[in-house]
Amino acid sequence: MHKTVVDNLIDIKKEIQLKINKDNNLLLTPKIIAVSKTFPISDILPLINFGHLHFGENKVQEALDKWLDIKMNFNHINLHMIGRLQTNKVRHAVKIFDYIHSLDSEKLAKKIADEQIKLNKRIKIFIQINIGNEQQKTGVDKNNVLDFYKYCKSLNLDIIGIMCIPPKTMENKNYFCEMNKMKEKLNLTELSMGMSEDFLDATENQSTFLRIGSKIFGKRD
């Protein structure tokens, strides 16, 4: 029997629930962001009709092309910007997205703050942490997070949590554990971490938003 995207989502939810049932320390069920980048709306609609609320896109232009009409008809949907955000795309991003997961610089923070005032819209934001200190990846240095967080608060940004994309190693649990401690230290409520291959490890470390693409939609072309 061919599995649908809805079947895949239900299977993931069952895996998460089994994990939570086994681990008495897990108090919250994380929300699943269905990462729909590169997939057409025809692939996404079954999830929308099933009642799924959270969707993620990597590129602002793709999000505008795909989601403008959909969001008018389904205004309860939450759209998450999970890719790198360039400052010249901030105006459009603030317009269409409800969450930004990739705030990584003071310049970007200031631009978002300015556009929010112009558009009279306040969106929920995660600070992206470069948890593995990788040169090729963006994100705030973990030693500078507190200062950066204070700067964002001075701009009246609604910082709800922190986000990471850990190095591709077997040590993800350690990085996720470190992120959870950092979240506690900052007294934030949300953690955006965990993807198709490691979402159960992220769940174990109190992730509140999982960004899952290929395990729901299948492999990208």
| Residue range 163-220, pLDDT digits in tens | 999 988 767 889 999 999 999 999 999 999 999 999 999 999 999 999 999 999 998 7
Residue whose structure tokens are 């401690």: 181
- What is d(CA 166, CA 148) in angstroms, rounded to the nearest whole number? 20
Alpha carbon distance 140, 131 (integer Å): 8
Distances (CA, A) of 145 to 63, 136, 149, 163: 29, 19, 6, 12
The pLDDT value given to residue 120: 96
114 or 169, greater pLDDT: 114
**Domains contained in the chain, CATH given:** 5-217 (3.20.20.10)
Q: Mean pLDDT over residues 63-87, rounded?
A: 95
Quote the pTM value. Answer: 0.95
For 34, the 3-state DSSP assignment is strand
Rg for the chain, CA atoms, rounded: 17
pLDDT at 78 over 80: yes
Residue-wise DSSP of 138-170: -SEEGGGHHHHHHHHHHTT-EEEEEEE---SST
CB 86 within 8 A of CB 78: no
Give CA–CA dist 118/196, Å, rounded. 37
